[in-house]
């Protein structure tokens, strides 16, 4: 338990026995002290290095008193030193083996932790991807179905009075359904590949389809030059636009909308205004909550306001920082 005191007691007791064995050779032989030397070498530490010269000096201390020849004294001292070094070597091997077992146990423990963390990360990743998919489906399908419903309502009202125009509308509705299906496929591909595309072109295409299938007046104010953006930023802007269009028609019954997209040095700003029914109390449903979380996740902000001026305008405004946003495809 205490290596220092053990070595001191071993020197006193073992050394006394050694002296006695030299005085009375019939009792034992000179090799009896080699085992204590071996043991002390095995237990040797930095604090007990002084044991080594003492082991060697024991025979010389009693050499003149016992009248031992110098050859025998030197032989005994050398044997003690040799067995002490053998004990030190055995201690080194034992410590190395102990360290190896300790490292193996630590590696096994770390492997268990890594397995646990890997399972947790996989679970979190699946949950995050599931939430992301639900948001994408809500934003895309909600906007698409609103357009389809409005187009079908217009076609139904024309069935009796203008069947040719109603048929033409139904043909365009079918085209819209195919377009929506392609858009869903593109979303799935973009999630996996995150291909680079122009945000301005996507906004213009979205506006063209919206005007065509809802008959709503929509004006655009877009920048002349394109800025490279990450997939997440482009998707956030498009989903905010779609949700704003959907809410303006579904809840506000708007007939006029104005979209403005502006690039600033460190951020982009999106504003969608409509002349629909003003909002009495702001209630964040799934769509607005998804929109808000999507923007805030990118470090941006989203504000929904309904003015009291004439004419009454409801505005959805969001800002997304561009500083530090690395365009897709760049390191």
Residues, the chain, total? 331
Residue 173 lies in a domain: no
Cα(205)–Cα(157) distance, integer angstroms: 27
In a domain, 273, yes or no: yes
Considering the domain boundaries, does residue 104 fall inside one?
yes
Residues 24, 9, 28: CA angle, nearest 5 degrees: 20
Domain count for the chain, please give it: 2
Does a structural domain hold residue 29? yes
Q: Please identify, among 111, 133, 150, the residue that sits at the C-terminal boundary of a domain.
A: 111
Residue 88 lies in a domain: yes
Please report the pLDDT score of residue 327 as a whole number: 43
pLDDT of residue 224: 87
> Is 51 part of any domain?
yes
Global confidence as pTM:
0.45
Domain-embedded: residue 161: no
Predicted local confidence at residue 109, as pLDDT: 86
Give the domain range for residue 266: 198-203+215-331
Q: Is the dihedral of CA 292, 233, 318, 248 positive or negative?
A: negative
Which pLDDT score, from 0 to 100, does residue 288 have?
A: 74
Please state, in angstroms and rounded to a whole number, the distance separating the CA atoms of residues 98 and 92.
10
Question: CA–CA separation, 143 vs 140, rounded Å?
Answer: 5
* 267-274 and 256-263 beta bridge pairing: antiparallel
> Which CATH number covers residue 311?
3.30.565.10
Task: Please report the pLDDT score of residue 269 as a whole number.
Answer: 94
Last residue of a domain, one of 94, 111, 128: 111
> Residue 225: inside a domain, yes or no?
yes
Instruction: Please give the pLDDT value at position 189.
Output: 61
- DSSP strands (E only) in 139-223: 217-221
Pick from 78, 73, 68, 70: nearest CA to 23: 68
The two tokens of residue 266 are 């460190």
**pLDDT tens digits in sequence order for the chain, 331 residues long:** 676 677 677 777 766 666 666 666 555 455 556 777 777 777 777 777 777 787 777 777 666 666 667 777 777 778 778 877 888 888 887 788 888 888 888 888 887 877 777 677 667 766 766 776 666 666 666 666 767 777 777 778 777 778 888 788 788 777 777 777 777 666 666 555 444 568 898 899 888 888 887 788 999 999 988 888 887 888 889 888 888 888 888 878 888 999 999 999 889 999 999 988 887 666 666 667 778 888 888 889 998 887 666 677 888 999 999 865 444 444 3
> Which residue, of 64, 87, 111, is where some domain finishes?
111
- In DSSP notation, 44-92 reads --GGGTTHHHHHHHHHHHTHHHHT--HHHHHHHHHHHHHHHHHHHHHHH
């Amino acid at each position: 338990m205490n290596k220092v005191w053990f070595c001191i007691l071993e020197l006193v007791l073992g050394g006394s026995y050694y002296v006695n064995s030299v005085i009375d050779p019939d009792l034992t032989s000179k090799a009896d002290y080699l085992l204590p030397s071996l043991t002390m070498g095995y237990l040797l530490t930095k604090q007990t290095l002084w044991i080594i010269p003492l082991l060697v000096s024991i025979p010389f201390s009693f050499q003149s008193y016992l009248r031992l020849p110098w050859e025998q004294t030197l032989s005994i001292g050398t044997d003690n030193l040799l067995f002490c070094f053998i004990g030190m070597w055995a201690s080194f091997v034992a410590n190395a083996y102990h360290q190896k077992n300790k490292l193996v146990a630590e590696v096994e423990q770390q492997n268990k932790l890594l397995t646990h963390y890997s399972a947790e990360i996989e679970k979190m990743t699946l949950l995050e991807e599931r939430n992301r998919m639900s948001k994408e489906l809500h934003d895309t399908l909600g906007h698409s179905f609103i357009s389809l419903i409005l187009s079908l309502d217009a076609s139904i009202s024309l069935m009796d009075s203008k069947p040719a125009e109603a048929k033409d509308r139904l043909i365009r509705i079918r085209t819209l359904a195919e377009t929506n299906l392609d858009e869903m496929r593109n979303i799935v591909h973009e999630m996996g590949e995150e291909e680079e595309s122009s945000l301005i072109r996507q906004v213009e295409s979205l506006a063209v389809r919206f005007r065509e299938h809802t008959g709503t007046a929509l004006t655009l104010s877009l920048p002349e030059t394109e800025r490279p953006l990450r997939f997440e930023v482009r998707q956030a802007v498009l989903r905010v636009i779609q949700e704003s269009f959907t809410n303006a028609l579904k809840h506000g019954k708007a007939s006029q909308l104005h979209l403005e997209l502006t690039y600033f040095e460190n951020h982009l700003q999106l504003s969608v205004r409509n002349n629909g029914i003003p909002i009495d109390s702001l209630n964040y449903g799934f769509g607005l909550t998804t929109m808000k979380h999507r923007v805030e996740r990118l470090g941006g902000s989203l504000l929904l306001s309904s003015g009291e001026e004439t004419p009454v305008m409801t505005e959805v405004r969001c800002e997304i920082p561009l500083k530090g946003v690395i365009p897709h495809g760049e390191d």
